[in-house]
Structure 1
Amino acid sequence: MAGTAVALWRYPVKSMLGEELSSAEIASTGVAGDRGWALLDAETGRIASAKSPRLWRALLTMSAVADGDGVRITLPDGRTVRSGDAAAGAELSKELGREVVLTDTRPEGATLARAVPDQVLAAGVTAEVEDEEVVLGQGSPPGTFVDFAPVHLVGTATLDAIAAAGERGVMEAARYRPNIVLGTDGPGFGENAWVGRELLVGEAVLRVMAPTPRCSVPTLEHGALPRDTGALKIPARLNLVEPLPGFGERPCAGVYAQVVTPGRVRAGDAFRLL
């Protein structure tokens, strides 16, 4: 398998909209500046995540970009908040209706709540449903707020397969929040076969760890993108696999990867499986 990296993304604040990059430095912790910040829920001590849409889906109405050593967040009305602003926490708390703290320091044993996706589909995003507590970054070096692994990849063939099975005929990569979108041919979900293999993209070498299990986040409104339950229902129909031993079968799209050799990657760089 070979092709090109067609798009690069980072998400400076966890669960907020991110920024497309022309090039990115990939370190052992992933794309530089990716998920380096998050909101801490003052009431529960958990990391705020749109995986619990009843509480946190509004995070996807905000966008974040790197701003020197910090971040700049744009609110739905166009106002901006910078991480260095004394009132940043208060502004974000007001917008979200819950007291939060903007932080770049991941607490030891940091967790988030992941609402059961099937229950969200059945009951809706405003319903109170069961959730599971997820420990962040178990497949990654410390220092960021990634869900599991440093890098998330998805192929265009997978996006095309989901789009072809959906009502809208399109499926935006942004819904799945990948770091690198790879131009791939052939059937969808071919990334499953990459698990355990290494991949050279630009200057970086990545080792594919596991298929990426999907939660309810891809189904939610992302900025101007409408809600689309097919973003989860279709992978559940076409690619129900066990991502890691003991997880059971879950709808998956894309793969997680760890960094073997750091390096710079540019949009348009070639990639190939080693």
Structure 2
Amino acid sequence: MTDETGLGTVAVLRRYPVKSMLGEDLAAGEVTARGLAGDRVLGLIHRESGKIASAKNPRLWRRLLKLRAAFHGPAVRITFPHGSVLVPADPGIEAALSEFLDQPVTLASTPPPDARFDRAVPEEVLRDGISALVRVENGQLGGASPGGTFVDFAPLHVITTSTLDRIAALSPRGTVELERYRPNIVIRTEAPGFAENDWAGCDLRVGRDLVIRVIARTPRCAIPTLEHGDLPRDADALRVPAARNRISAMDDFAPQPCAGVYAQVISPGRVGLGDVARPA
């Protein structure tokens, strides 16, 4: 796992200001215990169920991936497919989001206590389709996070170019877009295959100051298969990991399709494109 130059270099840095919406690329950013600054700082809450809106349940929430969220100064701007742009201070934003999603939602900057979300069983989505009634698993938001944001589990999600290249090589299309896996950090690596599988339990230094601890492999939901903006559906973005990288995300977990890893922040710091990632 080690060599003189480290594991690889930061190729992409990305944040998603609103949970389950498209995000924005960064040249550099600050990382704290809560993750990459500005990542998943807003979320939508279903007014009737009280659950967090998540495209992990595509029957209800797949249209979230048609919306793009990005910072413009201190404010988050949400861009709709038809080109209109709204910010949280706009009085009509919740009505516009509710109409677009066909679900009654509230835009929130703080998750409610014991925030929950639904995750459709991904294999059943593959089998029955994105509009089908399939089993859903109820998850607790930010189970490995210090709280305060709308991350699913841990503050950071990391994936390697080796994993993306392997999935692409095994896909009938011969390619796969990194957007489908919604990483915060993409590390350019030379190792073959699903390189980060071996990082679980390891501490990594990224750049000068940032130290992260890899705590789990990332089990994949149905999101990679969905339309992302103008990207079409791609069931193979999940089928390939399901067939070629079905492993335990953590000790004592049943094997699941995995791609990428979750990480917690041990020492905060600034990270930028080209920074070297190496064992800490």
Equivalent residue, structure 1, for 2:219: 213
Equivalent residue, structure 2, for 1:41: 46
Equivalent residue, structure 2, for 1:183: 188
> Deviation of residue 67 (structure 1)?
3.5
Q: How does 1:60-99 map to 2 (within 5 A)?
A: 60-99=65-104
> Deviation of residue 86 (structure 1)?
1.3
Equivalent residue, structure 1, for 2:231: 225
Q: What per-residue deviation string (whole Å, max 9, x for no partner) do you get for residues 211-253 of structure 1?
A: 0000000010101111001111100111111112343110000
**Residue in structure 1 matching 2:274, options 247, 268, 274:** 268
What is the TM-score with the length of structure 1 in the denominator?
0.98
**Residue in structure 2 matching 1:204, options 189, 200, 210:** 210
Which AA in structure 2 matches 1:188? G
> Deviation of residue 143 (structure 1)?
0.6
Q: How many pairs are equivalent?
A: 274
**Residue in structure 1 matching 2:127, options 122, 125, 132:** 122
Q: Give, in whole Å, the separation in 2 of the partners of 1:210 and 1:187.
A: 20
Equivalent residue, structure 2, for 1:255: 261
Equivalent residue, structure 1, for 2:8: 3
Which AA in structure 2 matches 1:242? S
Question: Identity of counterpart residues, as a percentage?
Answer: 53
> Deviation of residue 69 (structure 1)?
3.8
1:245 equivalent in alignment to 2:251: yes
Q: Give, in whole Å, the separation in 2 of the partners of 1:244 and 1:6.
A: 26
Q: Give, in whole Å, the separation in 2 of the partners of 1:109 and 1:189.
A: 33
Q: Give, in whole Å, the separation in 2 of the partners of 1:168 and 1:21.
A: 28
Which AA in structure 2 matches 1:260? I
Equivalent residue, structure 2, for 1:173: 178
CA RMSD of superposed structures (Å) = 1.0
Q: Helix, strand or coil: the match of 2:143?
A: coil
> Deviation of residue 172 (structure 1)?
1.1
Q: Give, in whole Å, the separation in 2 of the partners of 1:82 and 1:40.
A: 17
**Residue in structure 2 matching 1:22, options 17, 23, 27:** 27
1:12 equivalent in alignment to 2:43: no
Q: Give, in whole Å, the separation in 1 of the partners of 2:267 and 2:12.
A: 20
> Unpaired segments of 5 or more residues in structure 1?
none
Q: Helix, strand or coil: the match of 2:198?
A: helix
Which AA in structure 1 matches 2:57? S
